[in-house]
Amino acid sequence: MIYTVTLNPAIDYVMHPLTLDMGFTNRSSSEEIYCGGNGINVSTLLNELKVLNVAFGIAAGFTGEYLINTLQKSGISSNFVMLDHGFTRINVKLNGIVMTMVNGMGPKIPEKKVDELLERIDCIQPGDTLVLTGSIPKSLPENMYDIIMKRLAGRGIRFVVDAPGQLLMEALAAKPFLIKPNNHEVGRIFDARPETPEECIPFAEKLHERGAQNVIVSCGSHGALLYDNDCQVHTVPTAKIKLVNATGAGDSMVAGFVAKCQEGADYETALRFASACGTATAASRGIAKRATIDKVYARLNKIIEEQSN
């Protein structure tokens, strides 16, 4: 079973403004509402792939109730702790010529509710996978992921961590099964500016040496890199698409890779499928549907075949 944790979920309110002039009334041509949060994105794509998973998290208020109800209607199993006060944050995304975002702060989370979430997470069994991804609310300890992994250490659970900067580096001590920074995040960690998968290889190797079993580095249109737990390097190009919305593309890569690994696929196949999932989401308004993923996957395999000839 695969479990995801979303400590800082959100309702993403996406507007498509006709104009965006500060100090004046602007009007939108259309709007959409999505349940946001990195772990929720992972669960959404896993559900689309018909991979059993449970989404853990913390929610509050009428927006939290809407989030949970929407997940359940979509067929996503959820196990959220509800707070007594506050409401799950709303992120406003203005999708015009340039995407502009205003992210909400979110509710204050009391310690007793954190303990309740940890008690629920205790149900995870040996052989299960736990995906820890996304931001940590300011009211929680900065090392919250480390706290969770130490609590579950020694139980034979596979940890997947997709987090920025210091949060990612602190997670390496737990020897996670997979981490997935992008090239810009790797650059900030090592004070460098890698762009392509090939340029990211030495940094992925360092992350592996520091504890990560498998390291995927996504490089946008340049493709992606996997440095696997056998110290083998795999790279894939990116299938060309019309970019619609990059939100959730990295989460989709994580979901695709974990899903294929659970099936028993080899790392090369898992990386290709992960790339297809990420690209398909980038070409979609929300998290990609299976039909789009399959089309992109077929296109990617064709590109790789042509390059090898």
Q: Is 128 a catalytic residue?
A: no
Contact 122, 115 (CB under 8 A): no
d(CA 154, CA 131): 17
Looking at 182-232, which runs of residues are DSSP E strands?
214-218, 224-227
Q: 115, 251, 266, 294: which is the annotated catalytic residue?
A: 251
C-alpha of 110 from chain center: 25
Q: Mark out the alpha helices in 79-190 (DSSP H runs).
A: 111-121, 144-151, 165-171, 183-190
303: tokens are: 């590109």
Tokens 């596979």 correspond to what residue?
Answer: 158
Task: Label residue 103 left, alpha or beta by phi (over 0 means left) and psi (-120 to 50 means alpha).
Answer: beta
Could you give the residue numbers annotated as active site? 251
